[in-house]
Amino acid sequence: MATSETESDGELEEYSDSHSDHSVSSEDNPETEKGKRGPTRLPKLLKNNNGDRLKVVYNEDNQPIGNNGTTLSSYIGSEVGPSLGLKYTGWSDVPPVVKNKLWEDVTFKFDIDESRKKDVLRQFSELWRGWRKRTAAKYVTPFEKDRKKLKSIPPNLRGFVEQDDWKKFVKWRFSDEGKEKSKIGIEVHANHKYPHRLGRRTYAGLKEKMKREKKWTGDGRIPRDLLWIRARQGKKGKMKEMTDEAREAAAQIKDYSKQIAEGTIVCEGNTDALVKFFGEEHPGRVRAAGTRVTPSQYFHTPRQRGPSNKDNQNKIRELEEELREKDVQARISEENLRKEFQEQLKEQTLDTERKLQQQLLQFKELLGKSQFDMVQPFMPSSENVPALGREAKVSNEILGKVVPNLNGKARKKSRVPNSMLSSKKVVAQPPTGPPHLPSNKSQPCKLFDSIRRLVALGHIIHTESRTIHGRQMLDDGLRVSVDVVEIKSALLPRPSPGLLTVQDAKNSLVEWPKRLVVLVGKEQTRVDAFEDFYKRAREVFKRRHAIEVELHRDVFGQTEDVLIHMALEDIEFVCRCQCLTNNAIVLYIRFLYEKLDGAARKNKFGFINPAAVHFSVSKTEFVKNVLNRLKDSMRSRKYIFIPCNTGNHWVLIVFFDGIYYLNPLASKCRYQLDEQMSTVSKALRKLGAKRTEEKVFWVDVKHNPKQTGTWECGFYVMLYMKHIMESHDTAMLSPKEMFKSEKNYGMAEIDEIRNEWINYVSPILEKY
- Burial class of 630 by CB neighbour count within 10 A (0 to 12, 13 to 18, 19+): buried
Task: Return d(Cα 765, Cα 768) in angstroms, integer.
Answer: 6
**pLDDT tens figures, 431-478:** 444 444 444 468 898 898 876 778 899 999 988 888 998 888 988 889
Task: Return d(Cα 434, Cα 481) in angstroms, integer.
Answer: 6
Does residue 34 register a pLDDT over 80?
Answer: no
**pLDDT tens figures, 713-737:** 999 999 999 988 887 765 567 777 7
Contact 658, 698 (CB under 8 A): yes
Does residue 631 register a pLDDT over 80?
Answer: no
CA distances from 185 to 17, 133, 176, 473 (A): 20, 10, 14, 72
Average pLDDT, the chain: 75
**pLDDT tens figures, 235-280:** 777 777 777 787 887 787 888 778 777 777 767 667 777 777 777 7
Mean pLDDT along residues 218-232: 77
The pLDDT assigned to 210 comes to 80
Higher-confidence residue of 484 and 379: namely 484
Q: At what angle do helices 568-575 and 582-595 cross, to 10 degrees?
A: 80
CATH no. for 531-766:
3.40.395.10
The pLDDT assigned to 46 comes to 57
Where does the chain hold its CATH 3.40.395.10 domain(s)? 531-766
The pLDDT assigned to 714 comes to 93
* Identity of residue 725: M
What percentage of the chain exceeds 70 in pLDDT? 72
**pLDDT tens figures, 396-412:** 333 344 444 434 444 44
Lowest-confidence range among 278-282, 430-434, 604-608, 682-686?
430-434
The answer for residues whose C-beta is within 8 angstroms of residue 375's C-beta and 6 or more apart is 416, 420, 425, 426
**pLDDT tens figures, 292-301:** 677 766 666 5
The pLDDT assigned to 564 comes to 92
CA distances from 294 to 10, 228, 661 (A): 9, 17, 45
The pLDDT assigned to 731 comes to 54
Contact 445, 457 (CB under 8 A): yes
**pLDDT tens figures, 320-353:** 777 777 767 777 776 777 677 677 777 777 777 7
Task: Return d(Cα 172, Cα 175) in angstroms, integer.
Answer: 5
> What 3 state SS string does 325-376 have?
HHHHHHHHHHHHHHHHHHHHHHHHHHHHHHHHHHHHHHHHHHHCHHHHHCCC
**pLDDT tens figures, 513-566:** 888 888 876 534 455 688 889 989 999 998 888 899 999 888 988 888 889 999
Contact 622, 614 (CB under 8 A): no
**pLDDT tens figures, 96-118:** 888 988 898 888 888 888 888 98
